[in-house]
Chain A
Amino acid sequence: MKRVLVIEDNEINQDLIARRLVKKGYKVDFAIDGEKGLQLIESLQPDIVLLDMNLPVMDGWQVAEASKVNPKTKHIPIIALTAHAMAGDREKTLAAGCDEYQSKPIVFDELMKKIEKCLGSV
């Protein structure tokens, strides 16, 4: 069973993502701020991380960068979730080390395709 770590502070989003993922057969873990998320990436060693960029304590950009320089976690794919949908956000998240980018509101079909793509390429 593939393990997905969802780092997201909004409970509704957590629930919506989790229910879809569980239905698809993923095991889902949560972190509600960037700092805890970063710890869990290392300790849980998930197969993939869904990372909200707008997080308390430590934002998504910092989490992505820190995770990608850590030899123990740099292989773990990260999909950035951002509500900004601003021009350049995609480039910025990729530059921060994320492997994919999903704008909010999440179109779940798109997200599922991206998750499968990332997991397949690992």
Chain B
Amino acid sequence: MFSNDSQIGDFVKSAPKPKNEKERLAALKRLEILDTLPEQSYDDITKIASYVCQAPIALVSLIDGDRQWFKSRVGLDATETPRDIAFCAHAILEEELFYVPDSSKDERFADNPLVTGHPNVAFYAGAPLETAEGHRLGTLCVIDNKPRVFTDEQKDILTMLSRQVTQLLEYRVINENLKRETKIAKTMTRFFENSQDLMCVAGTDGFFKEVSPSFTEVLGYAVSELLGRPFLDFVHKDDIALTIKEVGKLAQGHRTVNFQNRYQTKDGRWLILSWTSSPSADGSTIYAIARDSTVEIQKQNELLKSYEEIKATRAELVRPKEEAIEASNAKSRFLANMSHELRTPMNAILGYSDLLIEEIDSSQPAVIEDVKKIKSAGDHLMRLINEILDLSKVEAGKMGVSRDTFKVAEVIGQVEGLVRSLIGKNQNKLAFDISKAPAAFNTDQEKYKQILINLISNSAKFTKSGNICVRVFEDNAAGVALMVTEISDSGIGIPTDKLESIFSEFSQVDESTTRLYGGTGLGLSICRKFADILGGKLSVKSELGKGSTFTLRLPSLAAKKSKSSSSQAPSKKGSKRAA
């Protein structure tokens, strides 16, 4: 030993760190023991060690990052010393007891300030405190201020005592865990006891194992009743199959969310319970929470019911409209078919009436008159049939519109020829003014003619010894080329309140009108409908006793035609390009 007093510090041999230092320190921290108050059980062990080893100092030393801290100490005032001069820092490197019989003769410690100064460590023996995980957290050590010989017995005892200390340390962990678990358990129990939801543990064998007190509160059964019977006993018979299926799923490890079944209360009511359940890993146990959702579901059902009712009401409201439309369509179809069937026999009646009138000997004037009456009635019936056919076609949307460009003067001429005989009947005068009419116009020629004939017939019927004037002129005021046809008469006129209803089917001003003036009651209705499908407007102005003016405004259909053909052109081009 060649020590140099002035350089003591340089010769202190600090112990290297153990290989698992990081984990070791973490394990030590987990104990939460550093800087805690002394504890009897540790102090007892250090005292025993001190007695048995007959050493004045005994310590439970724990090696922290840069210090050793004493959980228990006998014969020493210091609570800790630096790690780099600690004997114990060496001891924790050893599996077995570490022991220095005479530190002044050991080069690792001869210059150690704990050796050279207070507390003058001459003898040291430390047994490592090795946990089950293999961390040596510190030592149980004994120290004397004079060199010693340590007996084997003493070594054994110190080692055994060190295991007791380790045990104490490990119990500490177990204890902490237990405390934590107990706390959780208490909370859980409180939760279980106070929950308003129904909490239970059940077996897939069909029995409840534990039920929360809320079961008793909600269902009314004592806990013993609930545990003593299979839970299916409480379930509504219609829900049993579903419940069994659900339990089967749980037994296979699947969770259940919002499964609903009905449970009977002790007083016989049925409650709808909504279950959220999880199985244990082995599928033998079910942890389940149920909520009484009877009220909620009743509300839902009521909502659903009122929604269904609203839907049904709506359907009921809509149905008559649909039925009415269907009925109207059916009527139109029926009329269209019937009119056609009626016309064939009418052709025979009219045809043979005509033939008879031509062929009967003129010496039988009475017979000719009779046949003429048949013919006249037949004509009326035929007109009625034709008008019904037209109306039903319009109503069924089957009345086509043709676009004819015609000379206005020519068509007016044709109309004049057709109505001439009518005009004569009531000694009326008919005048045409087409001086401001367009030379040619495009619309459905036949329908235009029919509107004119109907309107002129109508005027002729309600005018006696008066004037009927037909005026045709152009009107571009609205920015569209309209052809306006006005039919004015000096007839009986129409009351203001009937001005619109005269366009309704089978509506004349009143019933007596029909008797007095005849007519089908369909003529004006057809005029209005034709005007509509030609894109035009038919209106009337009238003054009672002075006469009426019907005004027909028609747009040219030529523009529409060119529009539709121009809209076709690009698609043709497109297909060409594609080809």
Residues in chain A near residue B446, CB distance under 8 A: 87, 90
Whether B347 is near chain A, meaning CB under 8 Å from some CB there, is: yes
Question: Is A105's CB under 8 angstroms from B350's CB?
Answer: yes
Decide yes or no whether A69 CB sits under 8 A from chain B.
no
Given contacts A105-B343, A105-B346, A105-B382, contact A87 B351 (CB under 8 A): no
B268 within 8 A of A: no
Residues of A with C-beta under 8 A to B37? none
Contact residue among B340, B351, B400, B401 (Cβ-Cβ distance under 8 Å from A83): B340
Chain B residues, Cβ within 8 Å of A16:
347-348, 351-352, 355
Bound Cα distance A106, B382 (Å): 12
* B382 partner residues in chain A, CB cutoff 8 A: 105
Q: Nearest Cβ in chain B — how far from A102, in angstroms? A: 13
Known: A16-B351, A16-B352, A105-B351. A83 touches B402 (CB 8 A): no
Contact A87 B348, beta carbon cutoff 8 Å = no
A79 smallest CB distance to B (angstroms): 17
Contacts of B346 in A (CB 8 A): 105
Measured between beta carbons, the chain B residues less than 8 angstroms from A90 are: 446
Distance to closest chain B CB from A60 (angstroms) = 16
**Which chain B residue lies CB-closest to A105?**
B347
Number of residues on chain A facing chain B (CB within 8 A): 17
Interface 1/0s, chain A 88-122, versus B by CB < 8 A?
10110000000000001110100000000000000
> Per-residue 0/1 for B353-387: is the Cβ within 8 Å of any A Cβ (1 yes, 0 no)?
01100000000000000000000000000100010
- Per-position 1/0 for A19-45, Cβ under 8 A of B: 110000000000000000000000000
Given contacts A87-B402, A87-B444, A91-B402, contact A19 B343 (CB under 8 A): no
Output the nearest chain A residue to B530 by Cβ-Cβ distance: A87
Least Cβ distance of B447 to chain A in Å? 6
Residues of B within 8 A of A19 (CB): 355
| Bound CA–CA A19/B447 (angstroms) | 32
Per-residue CB contact flags for chain A residues 43-61 toward chain B (1 = under 8 Å, else 0) read 0000000000000000000
Q: With contacts A12-B347, A104-B347 known, is A87 near B401, CB below 8 A?
A: yes
Residue A73 CB within 8 A of the other chain: no
Most buried by B among A10, A88, A104: A88
B-side interface mostly: helix
Assess whether A1 is interfacial by the CB under 8 Å rule.
no
Contact between B400 and A108 (Cβ–Cβ < 8 Å)? no
CA distance A106 to B352 in the complex (A): 12
With A12-B347, A13-B347 known to touch, is A108 a contact of B354 (CB < 8 Å)? yes
| Alpha-carbon distance between A19 and B382 when the two chains are bound, in angstroms | 22
- Min Cβ gap B91→A in Å is 120
Q: Counting CB contacts under 8 A, is B435 at the interface?
A: no
A66, B234: Cα distance in complex, Å: 88
What residue in chain B is nearest A13 (Cβ atoms)? Answer: B347
Across the interface, do A87 and B399 meet the contact criterion of CB distance under 8 Å?
A: yes
Closest to A109 in B: B354
Q: Name B400's contact: one of A12, A87, A104, A105 (CB within 8 Å).
A: A87
Complex interface: chain A residues within 8 A of B399 (CB): 87
Is A12's CB under 8 angstroms from B351's CB? yes
Which B residues touch A12, using CB under 8 A? 347-348, 351-352
Report the nearest A residue to B343, measured CB to CB.
Answer: A83
Q: Does residue B476 face the partner (Cβ distance < 8 Å to A)?
A: no
From the candidates B343, B350, B352, B402, name the one contacting A88 in the complex (CB within 8 A): B402
Cα distance A88–B347 in the bound complex, in angstroms: 22
Q: What's the minimum C-beta distance from A85 to chain B, rounded to whole angstroms?
A: 8
Cβ–Cβ < 8 Å partners of A20 in chain B: 355
Q: Can you give 27 contacting A-B residue pairs, CB < 8 Å?
A: A10-B344, A12-B347, A12-B348, A12-B351, A12-B352, A13-B351, A16-B348, A16-B352, A16-B355, A20-B355, A83-B340, A83-B344, A86-B400, A87-B400, A87-B401, A87-B447, A88-B400, A90-B446, A91-B402, A91-B404, A104-B343, A104-B347, A105-B343, A105-B346, A105-B347, A105-B382, A106-B347
A residues with CB within 8 A of B: 10, 12-13, 16, 19-20, 83, 85-88, 90-91, 104-106, 108
Counting from the closest, the 9 A-B pairs by CB-CB distance are A16-B351, A88-B402, A12-B348, A87-B402, A105-B347, A87-B400, A87-B444, A88-B400, A87-B446
